[in-house]
Chains A and B, each alone.
Chain A
Amino acid sequence: MSATTASILARVVMCAAMLAGSVAAVASERADDRSSGRPVAERVQRILTDVSLDPGLAVEVAGQELLALADSALPAIFDAFCVVIESTAASETADGAPTNRTESTLLYVFEHTPAARLTPLLASPVTAESSVRARLAALRILATTASARDFRLICRLATTDPVDSSLERALETTLDALVGRDQAIFSVLERAYPTASVGVRRVFIRVLSRTHTRDSLRLLSRVLYREDELRPLLLVTIGRMSCDLPRPIGEDVLSNVRRFLIEADPLALPEVILAVGYLDDDESIPQLIALLRCPRRGLRANALWSLRRITGLGIAETPERWTTWYQSEREWWQHEWPSKLAGLRSASPDKAKVALMEIATRHLFRHALAKAVVELATHDDAGVATLACTTLAQLASRAAVPGLIDALDHDDAIVRMAAWNALRAITKKDLPPAAVAWSAAKLGS
Chain B
Amino acid sequence: MAIRRMRAGVKSRSDRRNQSGTAIVAALVVVTVVSVLSMAYLQLSMSKNREQRSSVDAKRAFYIAEAGLAEAYAGLVAGKSGNVGNGTIPARFANGAFWVESVDEGDGRRTLTSTGMCGTGRSALSVVVENVPEPVGALGVFGDQGLFVGEGVLIDGYDSRRGTYGSQHPVVVGGGGGGGGGLLGGVGGLVGGLAGSEEGPAESRVGCNADIVLPGGLAATHIDGDAQPGPGSSVLRGLGVTITGTTAPRTKSAELPVLDVPSLPLAGDIDHSTVRTPLVLSPQESSFGALRVRAGASAVIVGPAKLVFGSLQLDLNATLTIDATNGPVDLYVSDYLNMAAGSTYNSTSHDPTGVSLLIAASQSIDRNRDGIPEPPARIQSSGTFYGSVYAPAAALTLPSQLELFGAVAAKQLTIGNGAKLHFDRALCAPQNGDGALPQMLCWRLVELPDVPLVQMRLDPLSVMELNGITPTVSKDAHYDNGDDPLAGVVGVVLRVIQGSK
Contact = CB atoms under 8 A, between A and B. Distances in A.
A295 B482 CA distance: 12
Contact of B235 (A236, A296, A316): A236
B239 interface: yes
B232 interface: yes
A239 B235 CA distance: 12
A44 to B, nearest CB: 35
B218 to A, nearest CB: 13
A298 B246 contact: yes
B236 A296 contact: no
A302 B177 contact: no
Interface residues of B, number: 28
A301 B186 contact: yes
The A contact surface, by secondary structure, is: helix
A317 B102 CA distance: 12
Interface in B236-250: 236-239, 243-249
A357 to B, nearest CB: 24
A274 B248 contact: yes
B106 A308 contact: yes
B287 interface: no
B104 A314 contact: no
A434 to B, nearest CB: 26
A316 B105 contact: yes
A72 to B, nearest CB: 43
B406 interface: no
A314 B107 CA distance: 9
Contacts of A314: 105-107
Nearest to A202: B238
Given A236-B235, A297-B178, A305 B248 contact: yes
Nearest to A237: B234
A270 B244 CA distance: 10
B103 interface: yes
Contacts of B237: 232
Contact of A243 (B105, B182, B232, B246): B232
B236 A301 contact: no
What is the interface residue range for chain A against chain B? Answer: 20 to 34
A236 B232 CA distance: 11
A239 B177 contact: no
B246 A297 contact: yes
The B contact surface, by secondary structure, is: loop
B203 to A, nearest CB: 8
Nearest to A229: B239
B176 A296 contact: yes
Nearest to B107: A314
A302 B248 CA distance: 6
B185 to A, nearest CB: 7
Contacts of A318: 103
A297 B232 contact: no
A240 interface: yes
Interface in A265-314: 270-271, 274, 295-298, 301-302, 304-306, 308, 314
Nearest to A232: B237
Contact of B185 (A236, A295, A297): A297
A121 interface: no
Interface string A229-249: 100110010011001000000
B187 interface: yes
Contact of A298 (B232, B239, B243): B243
B441 to A, nearest CB: 14
Contacts of B248: 274, 301-302, 304-306
Interface in B185-210: 185-187
B226 interface: yes
Contacts of B187: 301, 304-305
Contacts of B236: 232-233, 236
B180 interface: yes
Contact of A305 (B105, B178, B235, B246): B246
Residue from the set A240, A305, A308, A317 with the largest chain B CB neighbour count within 10 Å? A305
Nearest to A239: B234
Nearest to A297: B180
A49 B36 CA distance: 128
A307 to B, nearest CB: 11
Nearest to B482: A297
B106 A270 contact: no
Contacts of B243: 270, 298
Contacts of B178: 297
A304 B105 CA distance: 11
A274 to B, nearest CB: 6
Given A270-B243, A298-B226, A298-B245, 5 more contacts: A298-B246, A298-B247, A301-B185, A302-B247, A314-B107
What are the 3 tightest A-B residue pairs by CB atom distance, in nearest-first order? A301-B246, A305-B248, A298-B245
8 contacts: A229-B238, A232-B236, A270-B235, A270-B243, A297-B178, A301-B187, A305-B248, A316-B104
